[in-house]
Structure 1
């Protein structure tokens, strides 16, 4: 019953946060120098003043800001996110086409960073103070502090330009018809962006898992397990994995926001046709409808990850769940 209440509480909070993010994004875009009319007709338009006035009235651009926001919100509930000025398509179509690329990139990077991060963290914890531990810790600190775009550029220069092991960018080979593109082509073009994003997001989970393993190894029940004759393999399987995996998964879900931000930068570095490159194009072309759509969808994705993390926190530690319900 309490778990159900916690889930309902998190869902309500997510809806409230989405509303506030939508309101803030709408106000910021409406207050910016972006002129929706100029963005729509272009700076060199020869339309008459009467024609411009008709467009303003048709789109409701002369309405008060609260009314415009409620109209936009009502359209969202009916599945209408407006039309992209940049791509000349419905915003929902643009996001749908590009989100599939971004989602695959994020999920692969999320899984790789999580799996390798936990393994490296356990090894470092078991070999605390050793050469391997020091090297991995230094590597994690460097990758955590290095900007995503800089790391992506380094990988691009080394592995694509110098060594020519991977393509320079894009999601498919240039000049090929859609019918000629194979699954291998998609995977080949995905490897370098996925590695970049995985390396950037791996540091936190490695350091967290390492610290957890060190604390577990110094606990009394591990000493008792050793006196019973358990070897290191049995200790890892019976005690370390059981106490490390769920908190590590929780940390991974809570890192969705950082992963999403890193993904946007990585996509621009590798010219990968995802949400990140669409956002950049929308910003450069003052495409307000697409900017609003991306803000809403990215908020849904990030808040969903945070909600899952909060629920898992409650599973890991019931005291957290009780504190959340008593607020």
Structure 2
């Protein structure tokens, strides 16, 4: 984890420094013509941008070891405070999409396997293969056009109603703004779980003990409940936890399309403005987030499946 974190931070830092974006110009904004060379030098000195690249990285790393993520050049606030605020919004979005995609994908995979080689199976496979190659931003734009612009069922973007004070925003308002981005992430995230569950259940249904159960007269849901659920639920859960990286990446695009105030939108803004402290802070946080998902998946498999413990003892 430590070596991965150092490598990701270093690569991200070098990519930002070699990008065509001028962080000083992005920092000044529209007042660029009013700022002279001396003022630019003072700004660069204040943010440490006038030092060599590796010196800047080492200075940032030493501050990080002391628990300081630095201040954002875009928001003029501590990076830790921005991540803390934005993470709550992103957590609600990603958790909702994660639960929906897992449940829907698992149900679709089970139905597809139980109805193998029927029109239902073909439709589900076509749906999954299509979604697996569908960009998140394109699906988000399509959902926005159809359900927000044409039908007017949901608001056009943002996390809360525009022009409403924070104390006047209700839970219903937040849910209404959450629906479209959550559904966008959900319907794209079902493909992996559905296809994996389908194949796993097909293998289980073709096994000897299931054939014996069929000979005893077990059919349909009873057969799946007694012999299929335990064998396909664990791989599906493990795969869902391991998909945290895809979920976070999709959330970045979805939040940008819907102008949802989460970590994804902050990541895009930090990249476009050359905000090194904020972007590196988000990189560290997202790395921990993905690593936690993979670790939870491994722990679940280790706890539930005794074969993994036996192999380590041997």
- Give the structure-2-normalised TM-score: 0.90
Most deviating of 311-320 and 210-219: 311-320
Aligned to 2:137: 149
Q: Count residues in correspondence.
A: 311
Contact 2:23/2:273 (<8 A) preserved: no
Gaps of at least 5 residues in structure 2 are none
Aligned partner of 1:303 among 291, 297, 300: 291
- Residue 268 (structure 1) aligned with residue 268 (structure 2): no
Q: Which residue of 2 aligns with 1:225?
A: 213
Q: Distance in 2 between matches of 1:320 and 1:135?
A: 39
Structure 2 counterpart of 1:16: 3
Separation in 1, partners of 2:221, 2:111: 12
- Match in the other structure for 2:243: 255
Farther off after superposition, 162-171 or 222-231: 222-231
Other structure's SS at 1:168 match: coil
Distance across 2 between alignment mates of 1:130 and 1:31: 54
Judge conservation of contact 2:89–2:261 (CA < 8 Å) in 1.
yes
RMSD value, Cα: 2.4
CA contact (8 A) 1:314 1:321 kept: no
Q: In structure 2, what is the equivalent of residue 7 of structure 1?
A: none
Q: Which residue of 2 aligns with 1:140?
A: 128
CA distance in 2, matches of 1:21, 1:314: 28
**1:201 Cα deviation after fit:** 0.7
Matched position secondary structure for 1:188? helix
1:46 equivalent among 21, 28, 35: 35
Residue aligning to 2:72 = 84
Q: Mean Cα displacement is larger for which, 254-263 or 280-289?
A: 280-289
Is the CA contact (8 Å cut-off) linking 2:27 and 2:74 kept in structure 1? no
Residues in 2 aligned to 1:131 and 1:56: alpha-carbon distance in whole angstroms: 64
3-state SS of paired residue (2:67): coil
Distance in 2 (alpha carbons) for counterparts of 1:314 and 1:95: 32
* Residue 208 (str. 1) matches residue 196 (str. 2): yes
Residue 187 of structure 2: aligned partner: 199
> 8 Å contact 2:16–2:271 — kept in the other structure?
no
Deviation at 1:220, TM superposition (A): 0.3
Query: 152-161 or 80-89, which moves further after superposition?
Result: 80-89
Q: Are the structure 2 counterparts of residues 234 and 91 from structure 1 closer, same or farther at C-alpha, using a change threshold of 3 Å?
A: same
1:171-186 equivalence runs, <5 A: 171-186=159-174
Counterpart secondary structure, 1:44: helix
Do 2:21 and 2:273's aligned partners in 1 also have CA atoms closer than 8 Å?
no
- 1:132-173 Cα deviation digits (max 9, x unpaired): 111111111111111111111111111111111111111111
Give the drift of 1:265. 0.8
State the shift of 1:312 in Å: 3.9
2:128–2:190 CA contact under 8 A, matched in 1: yes
Question: What is the DSSP-based 3-state SS (H/G/I as helix, E as strand, rest coil) of the residue aligned with 2:5?
Answer: helix
Which deviates further from its counterpart, 181-190 or 14-23?
14-23
TM-score of the superposed pair, with normalisation by structure 1:
0.87
Shift in CA distance, 321/20, structure 1 to aligned 2, threshold 3 Å: farther
Q: Secondary structure at the match of 2:72?
A: coil
- Taking the aligned partners of 2:96 and 2:55, their CA distance within structure 1 comes to 41
- Please tell me whether the aligned partners of residues 313 and 320 of structure 1 are also in contact (alpha carbons under 8 angstroms): no
Give deviations 1:67-113, integer Å, cap 9, x for gaps: 33232122223332222222222111122111111111111100000
User: CA contact under 8 A between 2:139 and 2:184: conserved in structure 1?
Assistant: yes
Cα 1:56–1:283 shift into 2, 3 Å:
closer
Structure 2 residue 110 is matched with structure 1 residue 122: yes
